[in-house]
């Protein structure tokens, strides 16, 4: 076959063609690119970077792997200019990381084609697989579809996107389905729950195991306006998503998708910044949402102190809060759950190991989703 | 508002929380990150990188911007450790680029959140907007949806993805639509035509202007197996996509989407490697495809020399070939068109300026799509 495609190769492969007129294009020059990360059978992981003239290369997190290695760790250079570091064994799960070079330059791993896509400052992503397939690992089960929807926001005078998961069979069915609005964290984007967090794989697996009702999952973009660089003071107004979600995203979803539109068939949940957004949106709109969840984030304590327990207990079918004991925000989230207990607002509090990272968020989704629409 | 969200901020913002226990996470440290690329009103573009200890920083292409700057260009360092270079004015369009540092390390631009996602070796992406909106620029017109479909390939024993564009209104209509299969180039992936090439935006704009018939566009993954690192000899077997497309992707599309299934309502086209694939798949399967296009890539000349002109002229409603005069493969593609002319195989040959890059592929799509399904 190689012989018969020579002409084809010459015509269509930049790797061959561009060699004739200058440097190998960026992406085809592999000779200096070591394997990285290499995930060993014992779940240790080796990171490598070719940077012969660098004086200092450090493994960073976003926070991702920082939660396991605790602090940035230096790599060591060999005589060929390849820096390396082995860490772990690591618990199964998703890890994000990047490098800091010479104390200043930060970059994703050029050997790793899987970026963690962020609003700004993309990092790299890898998975330590579980001995038995974890809920975030793809299995040969029926697969749902991820939709990328673009809409023109009248509120904001710009086009924005949201992602939608529909379960297997949605396209050929006439059934109307309930909806979970699933919000991302600070610095993340509308694709984060699927691209990085694999919410679609998780939902496929939960459905295949009969653990969840078929539902549509809508993943809007949580930053308003579309900030490119993070502001050290935090997002301009993280609650601006409330108006956008209710007056722009929700109507668009309900026009375009076959969904149930009563409160009993509408849920909200989010991680980190999205947790705080979900708690506030739920509290402000109990006539719109019967289910509310906060993953690794608390709420606006002042407004919850003024909440009406009797009304909320009547309205909310599930109010779910989860946090890892190693999460830097652990005390705050625990304090929020304690406030709910004090006020006798019925809720589920799920305390786990781990910190402020995807393995927890993926697990929390796999615990919250089965409670919905029962 | 800032005051009322303090607790929320403390709970949910890693930028604040993580500062307490170690280094600022990778993506939140913006103090050393210059603006890059900066696109000036005169269409010159300034690239910047903070790398105080680097001895050499070069602007590279993938090939992308290399086609305009002709060869890798060095940046110059200022007294704050920021390297910079201004190029252009550049023609309107899409550009991909990366940096090479100290002669070895290659990386995307850490200031730029928009990666060009590739099978391997992601680069960065920016757009020089047109004075009047170009066909690839988003306008406030009705927007179609991009779908990410996962399927388990029995041929390959693995799960794979394809992307699908459906036009505005697809969700609420019962109409069956024709299908264009649109293939990517070597090193690109199933998301390249939408994520990088914005085929969805192009189709939205062409539809809004009444220039195309409503159609579904299916964008499969063209590399089999899923090679991570490019092989210097080229893809293992670029034509392996033929079986996968016809026996796995097409049945899945026709099961899941409301599509017309006769040859007169099925088209194929692709860029670079995808051009060669499209020409061969079209030639082998004239009973399946009435429209065939090759953007910036030729075909397997030997098999076209043996082709039956009378049969093909009866079967193909459009056979379309486009190439830029600055494309390194120009002579080969032109030779293919000349062969078709010699053999009296009816075709359209579209020669343009420019080279082997997105502005041409986007323009070619906007010329080919209006000819389909008439």
In chain A, positions 262-321, which contact chain B (CB-CB < 8 Å)? 272-273, 275-276, 280, 297-302
Q: What is the DSSP string of B163-222?
A: EEEE-TTGGG----B-EEEEE--TT--TTIIIIIT-HHHHHHHHHHTT-S---EEEEE--
Burial class of A24 by CB neighbour count within 10 A (0 to 12, 13 to 18, 19+): middle
Among A56, A105, A299, A326, most B C-beta atoms within 10 A, so best to mutate, is A105
Q: Judge: B5–A29 Cβ closer than 8 Å, yes or no.
A: no
Given a cut of 50, whether residue A11 has pLDDT beyond it is no
* B129 and B197 Cβ atoms separated by less than 8 Å: no
Distance from C-alpha of B293 to C-alpha of B318, rounded to nearest angstrom: 8
Length of chain B in terms of residues written: 374
Check if A158 contacts B (Cβ < 8 Å). Answer: no
pLDDT at position A157, please? 87
CA distance between the termini of chain B: 56
Pick the closest to residue A291 from A202, A203, A374 (CA basis): A374
| Tokens read off for A272 | 């980190």
Given a cut of 60, whether residue B2 has pLDDT beyond it is no
In chain B, positions 128-157, which contact chain A (CB-CB < 8 Å)? 138, 140, 143, 145-152
Helix (H), strand (E) at residue A305: helix A301-305
- Chain A residues within 8 A of B121 when measuring between CB atoms: 26-28, 30, 33, 110, 113
Of B70 and A86, the structure prediction assigns the larger pLDDT to A86
Which pLDDT band holds residue A33 (cuts at 50, 70, 90)? confident
Q: What is the DSSP string of A150-189?
A: EEEETTTTEEEEEEEEE-TTGGG----B-EEEEE--TT--
- Nearest-CA distance B140 → chain A (Å): 6
Average pLDDT, rounded, for chain A: 88
Of A40-49, A328-337, B53-62, B185-194, the least confident: B53-62
My answer on whether omega of the bond before B296 falls inside 30° of 0, hence cis, is no
* A207 and A167 Cβ atoms separated by less than 8 Å: yes
- Nearest-CA distance A286 → chain B (Å): 20
Given a cut of 70, whether residue B3 has pLDDT beyond it is no
* A164 and A199 Cβ atoms separated by less than 8 Å: no
What's the DSSP call for residue B241?
H
Distance from C-alpha of A107 to C-alpha of B115, rounded to nearest angstrom: 12
The DSSP bridge partners found for residue B10 are: none
Q: Judge: A110–B117 Cβ closer than 8 Å, yes or no.
A: no
Distance from C-alpha of B213 to C-alpha of A48, rounded to nearest angstrom: 50
| Tokens read off for A233 | 């003071």
Given a cut of 50, whether residue B14 has pLDDT beyond it is no
pLDDT at position B228, please? 55
Q: Give residue for tokens 């250079």.
A: A77
The percentage of chain B sitting over the pLDDT mark of 90, rounded to a whole number, equals 66
- Chain A residues within 8 A of B301 when measuring between CB atoms: 7
Q: Beta strand B266-271 with B179-183: parallel, antiparallel or unpaired? A: parallel
Task: Give the model confidence (pLDDT) of A126-136 as tens digits.
Answer: 999 888 888 99
Query: If you compute the radius of gyration of chain B from its CA atoms, what whole number of angstroms results?
Result: 23
At A118, give phi and psi (nearest 5°). Answer: -130, 170
DSSP reduced 3-state for B2: coil
Q: Beta strand B348-352 with B318-324: parallel, antiparallel or unpaired? A: parallel
- Chain B residues within 8 A of A301 when measuring between CB atoms: 7
Neighbours of A208 (CB within 10 A): 15
pTM of the shown model: 0.90
The percentage of chain A sitting over the pLDDT mark of 70, rounded to a whole number, equals 88
Average pLDDT over residues A27-40: 76
Which pLDDT band holds residue A94 (cuts at 50, 70, 90)? confident
Q: Judge: A276–B12 Cβ closer than 8 Å, yes or no.
A: yes
Q: Judge: A145–B147 Cβ closer than 8 Å, yes or no.
A: yes
Q: Judge: A23–B72 Cβ closer than 8 Å, yes or no.
A: yes
Q: Give residue for tokens 């009547």.
A: A314
Given a cut of 50, whether residue A8 has pLDDT beyond it is no
Helix extents (H) in A164-268: 199-208, 241-244, 250-256
Q: Any idea where the domains of chain A sit in the sequence? A: 21-128, 145-371
Given a cut of 80, whether residue A220 has pLDDT beyond it is yes
Neighbours of A7 (CB within 10 A): 17
The DSSP bridge partners found for residue A106 are: A100
Distance from C-alpha of B222 to C-alpha of B189, rounded to nearest angstrom: 7
Neighbours of A37 (CB within 10 A): 23
Distance from C-alpha of A266 to C-alpha of A249, rounded to nearest angstrom: 13
Given a cut of 70, whether residue A242 has pLDDT beyond it is yes
Q: What angle do CA A263, A266, A267 make, to 5 degrees?
A: 125
| Tokens read off for A346 | 């019925």
| Tokens read off for B197 | 């090439």
Q: Which superfamily is assigned to A21-128 in CATH?
A: Immunoglobulins (2.60.40.10)
Q: Give residue for tokens 């709910």.
A: A340
Given a cut of 50, whether residue B8 has pLDDT beyond it is no
- Among left, alpha and beta (phi > 0; psi -120 to 50; other), residue A102 is left
Q: Judge: B12–A54 Cβ closer than 8 Å, yes or no.
A: no
Q: Which fold has domain B32-122?
A: Immunoglobulin-like (2.60.40)
Given a cut of 80, whether residue A4 has pLDDT beyond it is no
* B118 and B189 Cβ atoms separated by less than 8 Å: yes
Distance from C-alpha of A316 to C-alpha of A319, rounded to nearest angstrom: 6
Pick the closest to residue B333 from B319, B346, B351 (CA basis): B351
Q: For the complex shown, is ipTM > 0.90?
A: no
Helix (H), strand (E) at residue A271: strand A266-271
- For residues B250-278, b (16+ Cβ closer than 10 Å) or e, as one string? bebbeebbebbeebebbbbbbbbbbbbbb
CA A171 to chain centre: 25
pLDDT at position B226, please? 58
Distance from C-alpha of B366 to C-alpha of B352, rounded to nearest angstrom: 13
* A83 and A32 Cβ atoms separated by less than 8 Å: no
CATH number of B145-371: 3.40.50.1820
- Nearest-CA distance B294 → chain A (Å): 10
Which pLDDT band holds residue A224 (cuts at 50, 70, 90)? confident
| Tokens read off for A103 | 């104390």
In chain A, positions 48-77, which contact chain B (CB-CB < 8 Å)? 49-56, 60-63, 66, 70-72
pLDDT at position A226, please? 58
Of A176-180, A214-218, B238-242, the least confident: B238-242
Q: How far is CA B269 from CA B180, B191, B217, in A?
A: 7, 16, 10
Which pLDDT band holds residue A327 (cuts at 50, 70, 90)? very high
Distance from C-alpha of B139 to C-alpha of B143, rounded to nearest angstrom: 9
* A215 and A173 Cβ atoms separated by less than 8 Å: no
CA B330 to chain centre: 19
Which pLDDT band holds residue A27 (cuts at 50, 70, 90)? very low
At A190, give phi and psi (nearest 5°). Answer: -65, -20
């Amino acid at each position: 076959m190689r012989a018969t495609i020579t002409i084809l190769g010459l015509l269509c492969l930049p790797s061959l063609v561009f060699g004739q007129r200058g440097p190998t294009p960026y992406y085809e020059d592999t000779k200096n690119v070591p394997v990285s990360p290499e995930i060993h059978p014992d779940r240790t992981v080796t990171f490598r970077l070719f940077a012969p003239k660098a004086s200092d290369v450090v493994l960073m997190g976003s926070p991702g792997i920082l939660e396991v290695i605790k602090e940035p760790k230096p790599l060591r250079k060999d005589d060929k200019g390849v820096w390396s570091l082995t860490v772990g064994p690591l618990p199964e799960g998703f890890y994000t990381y990047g490098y800091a070079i010479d104390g200043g330059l930060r970059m994703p791993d050029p050997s790793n084609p899987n970026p963690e896509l962020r609003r700004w400052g993309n990092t790299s992503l890898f998975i330590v697989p579980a001995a038995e397939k974890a809920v975030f690992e793809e299995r040969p089960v029926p697969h749902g579809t991820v939709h990328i929807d673009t809409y023109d926001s009248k509120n904001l005078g710009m086009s924005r996107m949201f992602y939608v998961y529909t379960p297997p069979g949605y396209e050929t069915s006439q059934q109307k389905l309930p909806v979970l609005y699933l919000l991302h964290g600070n610095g993340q984007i509308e694709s984060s729950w699927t691209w990085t967090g694999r919410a679609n794989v998780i939902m496929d697996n939960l459905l295949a195991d009969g653990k969840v009702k078929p539902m549509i999952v809508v993943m809007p973009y949580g930053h308003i306006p579309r900030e490119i660089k993070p502001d050290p003071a935090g997002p301009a107004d993280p609650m601006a998503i409330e108006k956008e979600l209710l007056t722009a995203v929700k109507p668009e979803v309900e026009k375009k998708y076959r969904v149930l539109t009563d409160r009993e068939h509408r849920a909200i949940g989010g991680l980190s910044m999205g947790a705080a957004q979900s708690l506030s949106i739920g509290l402000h709109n109990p006539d719109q949402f019967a289910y509310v969840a906060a993953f690794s984030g608390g709420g606006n304590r002042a407004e919850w102190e003024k909440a009406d327990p009797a009304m909320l207990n009547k309205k909310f079918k599930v109010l779910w809060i989860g946090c890892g004991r190693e999460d830097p925000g652990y005390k705050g989230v625990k304090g929020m759950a304690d406030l709910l207990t004090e006020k006798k607002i019925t809720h589920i509090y799920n305390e786990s190991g781990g910190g402020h990272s995807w393995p927890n968020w993926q697990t929390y989704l796999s615990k919250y989703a089965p409670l919905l629409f029962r």
